[in-house]
Structures are given as C-alpha cells and as structure tokens.
Amino acid sequence: MSTDDKNRAIAAAILPLVGGAANIGSVAHCMTRLRLGLRDRSLVQDEALKALPSVMGVVEDDTYQIVLGPGTVARVTPEFEALVAAAAPAHSADELAAQGAAIKAARKAKNQTPFKLFLRRIANIFVPLIPALIGCGIIAGLNGLLVNLGWLPSVTPALAAMASGFMALIAVFVGFNTAKEFGGTPILGGAVAAIIVFPGVAKIDAFGQTLSPGQGGVLGALGAAVLAVYVEKWCRRWVPEALDVLVTPTLTVLVSGLVTIFGLMFVAGEVSTAIGDFANWLLANAGAGAGFVLGGLFLPLVMLGLHQALIPIHTTLIEQQGFTVLLPILAMAGAGQVGAAVAVYLKLPRNGSIRRTIKSALPAGFLGVGEPLIYGVSLPLGRPFVTACVGGAFGGGFIGLFNMLGDKVGSTAIGPSGWALFPLLDGNKGLGETIAIYAGGLLAGYLVGFVATYFWGFSRELLEEFDVETEPVEVPVASGGPAAPQAPEPVKV
C-alpha cells in the first residue's frame, strides 16, 4: 500500500467512528493531533476509535482531538478533509449559520475560562512558527559544529544566513499571525511589527534612549499587532466605505506605528530583558530546585492547557540568547513518562493489552511524543502518572543543578523533546558537554520514573485489577488492519 493510500485508509477508518461527515463542523491539526469540531459528541464511538492501530489516544478539550503522532497527522488531515468535503451535502446559508451558531455555543459551554482562551490564542500565534524554528535551529546547530571543526569554511556563512534569516524577521511573522488570530488584516499586523526590526529605528530616541532594531522582540510585535487590529476595527466602523480602502490601512499603520515606536518598543524591551534576566537568575541561584519544580509540574500544566503561556517566553529567550534554557528542563517530564511506562510493563506481566500499548508507544516516547503513554497508560492508571512526574522532577533537577554550576543547557527551537532535542541543543560550554548533561538528565528521568513507579506506582488493589489475562478487543476497521487493545479505564487511587 502506498503512503497516500495508507493515509487515506486511516482517514476513512476514523470518519465513521466520529459520526460521519455530517457530524464534522471543523477540521484542523497541530503537531500530533487531528482536532475535530463535532456537532453531536454522542455519535463518537470512543472505544472503537481508540482501538484503531493508527490512533494513539484521544483528548477532549474545546475540540475532539485524536492523537495520530507527528508527521502522520499532517498527512492524514488533508485526506480526512477530502472525505468530509466529498460526503457533505449541500446546505442553505441559514442552515449553515445555525450549525455554526450551535458549534460556537457548544464550545462556549465547555469549561473554558477567559485566561485559557487567551492562552489558546497566544498558542495559535506561535505554534505555526515551530516548523521554521526547528529547521533553522537544526541548521544553526550544524553550522556551529562545522565552524568548531573548521570544516567547509566556504559553506558556513551560507548556513549562518539560512539559520539567522528567520529569527531576524520573526517579529514580522508574529505580527502577521497575531492580526489574523485577533480578526484583523494579517498583512497590516505584519507591517506594523516590521517597524520593530527596521534598521532605521536606530535613529529614533524614545524615553531619552536611542532605540535599537529588534528592541521589544516578539512581545513588542504581538502588542503592536493587537493594537493595529483594534485601530483597524475602529476605522472600519467609522470611515466611509468610499474612503475605507485608502484611510483605514493608512491610519492603522500610522497610529499603531507611532505608539509602537514611542511606547511599545521601550516597554516590551524592558519586559523581554526582565524575562531573560529572571530565567538566568532563577537557574543560577536556585537551579536544582527550580528544575525539580518545573520538570515535575510540566505535565499537569499540559493537562490544564497552561503550558501555552510558556511559548512566548521560550521564543523571547531564543531571540535574546540564541536558545531557551527552560525547554531541556521541561523535556524531562517525558523522560519520567518513559521510565514509568517501562515499570508498568514489568509490573503487569499478564496484561497483554497494556503491554502491547506500551511497546507500540515507547518509541514515540523516547522521541519526546508522550501523549500515547500519558493518555494510554499512566493517566488512566492514576498513580503511575504521579510517579512519572516524580521522574520528570528529578531529571529537571539534574539539568537545573548544572545550570546552577554555570553549565547552561538550552534549545535553539521549541517543539521537539526527548531524543529529538539532541540536534537542537546549545549552551555556553562545548557541545559535547551540553549533550552529556542533557543525556544525564534523561537517564535520571528514566531511572527515577521507573523506580518510583515500580515500587510506589501500584496499590495492591490496582495490581489485582490490572495484572490479569486480557484478550484484544476485536473492532472492525475500514483499513482492514487488526484491532488494537483498549486502554485501561481510569481508576481511583
């Protein structure tokens, strides 16, 4: 079967289990999940969906999210959209409007706070930038290695340009995405944000100081673009239609541009500097403790959706220092999950269903994709999720300790984790030393996660309930492949 046929088969297997094309209100995807807006949640066959070999788990948030893994989801989503479009009947404008209103009302009815909605908007601005951050980060790492070795001196300047070009203009992309997310004209958001990186701002004085290109960074670009959106909306409301095409974009760039130059750049620059200084101070003075807390609490933050607040912080640190010292520490949370999963595998020798789930999910776990292990193993079992977080805490504490001793370990991009982060590592010491410290943190997370789960992750009742012979649940799938076992039901610990 070709790759296209395989992706089409996966999409075809999923569609009937989520209620068919008529039940799909929206389709989107992130790095690992197919995100569906459903018209009727009750039509979804959860267990059958989880049993599909290609499905690593499901998550319910503002959308119904099916975990397919990195790479796969980007290829399956277009096939899924094509199937939905092909099966969708024609609707009147009133019917479509009613359906849209129903979906919007259902989403609002979910347990959403204004703060979480704001964080989701922030994530929507920065997440589309991750592929470029990863690609440029890896090129930067390769270029640094070649420079240190003295190889290919005629090529390294070109690699440096490739690695640095995106970061030099990242404020423009942030402004573009911000305006798009907040309902403005994207190009106007990008135009206002471009002021921040324009070399000519070095000739301007604000608050008694000469501005510097890039001052304020991505935070300034975000603020400038939000302001541009509000100015544009005001203009659309009050400017006559005959003059709108000339007046609105002019006033939008002029007003928000002046505020950006004579206000936002200075303020955002001070905030950005404070973020970098605080991160450096925290790890220099309380590195082990800070790493322990961050590594241990990161997965609960992910479960609550609060981790999205860290995205602009990571981006600001990368923009300022060339790498973020927080990501390698937070990546230890995944190491704790891997160690815990191995312990669960050994503690439940008779439960073939859970053991098969772990065997299929471990490779992704080592590469930093922890969702299959979280939602398929540790979280449903309860206590192993807690002991996995303990493993992440010790891994984070290990890396934090070396930061405290003066050995910074950072990542030049956000997104990857686990072993996939090795090509993106950077720091203030040699690359070999940086890699060794990160590897040591991973080993600490694996080991403590395993030990904590093996000895304290199971009560007697939990073992009696789950260490039993199981048979795979046969579920017919459209792709014709064998059914995967069901994940364990959540239990009280």
Residues 369/70, Cβ–Cβ less than 8 Å: yes
Annotation says 136 is catalytic:
no
pLDDT of residue 88: 57
Instruction: Find the angle CA(475)-CA(55)-CA(50) to the nearest 5 degrees.
Output: 45
pLDDT of residue 92: 38
pLDDT of residue 470: 57
Residues 431/144, Cβ–Cβ less than 8 Å: yes
pLDDT of residue 112: 61
Mean pLDDT per 10-residue segment, the chain (493 residues): 82 92 87 86 90 86 84 86 74 40 48 71 85 86 82 91 89 94 93 94 86 90 95 91 88 95 91 88 88 91 74 87 91 94 91 84 85 79 90 95 91 86 88 93 96 91 76 45 46 40
- What contacts 24+ positions apart, CB below 8 Å, involve 255-261? 255/227, 255/231, 256/192, 256/224, 256/227, 256/228, 256/231, 257/192, 257/195, 257/224, 259/224, 259/227, 260/192, 260/195, 260/196, 260/220, 260/223, 260/224, 260/227, 261/195, 261/201, 261/204, 261/206, 261/211
Number of CB atoms found within 10 A of residue 147's CB: 15
- What contacts 24+ positions apart, CB below 8 Å, involve 108-114? 110/61, 110/62, 112/62
pLDDT of residue 87: 72
136 to 201, 382, 419, 449: CA distances (angstroms): 26, 39, 18, 33
Number of CB atoms found within 10 A of residue 119's CB: 19
Residues 299/385, Cβ–Cβ less than 8 Å: yes
pLDDT of residue 199: 92
162 to 131, 133, 414, 452: CA distances (angstroms): 14, 11, 18, 44
Per annotation, catalytic residue among 30, 136, 235, 389: 30
160, with CB counted inside 10 A (0-12, 13-18, 19+), is: middle
pLDDT of residue 93: 36
pLDDT of residue 102: 52
pLDDT of residue 452: 95
